[in-house]
C-alpha cells in the first residue's frame, strides 16, 4: 500500500494578548519618550544633552543628562504603580518661565482605563487586549511626530525655562508624601491660552488622549 507523506500545516503566529501589566509598560514607555521629545523640541535642555536612539521604528531623542534621567525614572516608576491600580487620570508636563514662573505650555495626557462591553465590574487586573502591538506603536509614532512638528505652530520660547510634571490621581491613590506634594495646576489664563488637540493612542486596556495648551498674548 503506498504511503502519502503528511503535509505540514502552516499555523498562524499566536498573537500575544496585552494584559494590564503589559499595557502599563507600553504607556509608561510612551510617557518617557514623549517627555524627552518635548524637553528637546521646546529647548528646555540643550540639544547636546540628548542622543538619538531607535524606538517605535523611528529615531527618537533621549536625555544623556544623568540628573534628568534619574528624575524622570523616579517619576515614571510611580506613574507605573498608579497605572496598575487605575488611580491616575491625567499627566501634565508644564513648561514654565525660569525667571517669572509664568506657565508657558501645558502638555496634557488624559489617561482612561478602557472597559470593553460586558466587562463592567470586572477586576482591572483581568483586562486583556488582542490589539496588535505594531498598531499601537504606529499610533504612538503619530503622536511623537506631532510633538516634533509642534514647532511650526507653537510660539518661539526665547527665555530660560524649567518644567514640572503634575499627576492627577483618584482620592484613593497611594501618594508617597516625600516625593509628591499638592501644587498649583500651573494653568494658563483663559484669555491668553490656545489649545491644540493631538492624536490619541489606545492599547485597548488604556486610552491616552493628548493636547497642548500654550500662552498666546496675541498682537
* Structural domains of the chain ordered from first start: 18-215 (3.30.900.10)
Query: Per-10-residue mean pLDDT for the chain, 219 residues long?
Result: 56 70 96 98 96 95 96 96 95 97 97 65 67 96 96 94 96 87 91 95 96 86
Which pLDDT score, from 0 to 100, does residue 190 have?
A: 87
pTM, two decimals, is: 0.88
Which pLDDT score, from 0 to 100, does residue 5 have?
A: 54
Which pLDDT score, from 0 to 100, does residue 138 have?
A: 97
Which pLDDT score, from 0 to 100, does residue 4 have?
A: 54
Which is it for strands 206-215 and 103-113: parallel, antiparallel or unpaired? antiparallel
Give bridge partners of residue 105 from the DSSP assignment: 95, 214
Which pLDDT score, from 0 to 100, does residue 119 have?
A: 47
Which pLDDT score, from 0 to 100, does residue 3 have?
A: 55
Which pLDDT score, from 0 to 100, does residue 219 have?
A: 53
Burial 163-202 (b: 16+ CB within 10 A, else e): bebbbebeeebeeeeeeeeeeeebebeeeeeeeeebbbbb
The owner of cell 500662552 is 215
Amino acid at each position: 500500500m503506498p504511503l502519502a507523506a503528511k503535509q505540514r500545516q502552516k499555523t498562524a503566529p499566536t498573537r500575544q494578548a496585552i494584559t494590564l501589566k503589559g499595557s502599563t509598560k507600553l504607556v509608561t514607555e510612551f510617557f518617557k519618550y514623549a517627555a524627552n521629545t518635548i524637553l528637546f523640541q521646546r529647548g528646555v535642555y540643550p540639544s547636546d544633552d540628548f542622543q538619538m536612539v531607535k524606538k517605535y521604528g523611528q529615531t527618537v531623542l533621549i536625555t544623556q543628562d544623568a540628573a534628568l534621567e534619574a528624575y524622570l525614572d523616579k517619576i515614571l516608576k510611580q506613574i507605573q504603580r498608579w497605572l496598575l491600580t487605575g488611580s491616575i487620570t491625567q499627566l501634565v508636563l508644564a513648561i514654565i518661565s525660569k525667571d517669572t514662573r509664568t506657565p508657558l505650555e501645558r502638555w496634557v495626557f488624559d489617561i482612561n482605563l478602557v472597559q470593553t462591553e460586558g466587562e463592567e465590574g470586572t477586576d482591572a487586573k483581568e483586562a486583556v487586549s488582542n490589539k496588535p502591538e505594531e498598531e499601537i506603536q504606529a499610533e504612538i509614532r503619530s503622536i511623537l511626530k506631532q510633538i516634533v512638528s509642534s514647532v511650526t505652530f507653537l510660539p518661539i520660547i526665547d527665555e530660560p525655562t524649567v518644567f514640572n510634571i503634575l499627576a492627577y490621581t483618584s482620592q484613593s491613590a497611594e501618594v508617597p508624601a516625600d516625593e509628591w506634594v499638592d501644587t498649583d495646576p500651573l494653568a494658563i489664563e483663559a484669555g491668553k491660552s490656545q489649545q491644540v488637540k493631538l492624536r490619541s493612542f489606545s492599547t485597548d486596556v488604556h486610552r491616552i488622549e493628548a493636547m497642548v495648551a500654550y500662552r498666546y498674548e496675541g498682537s
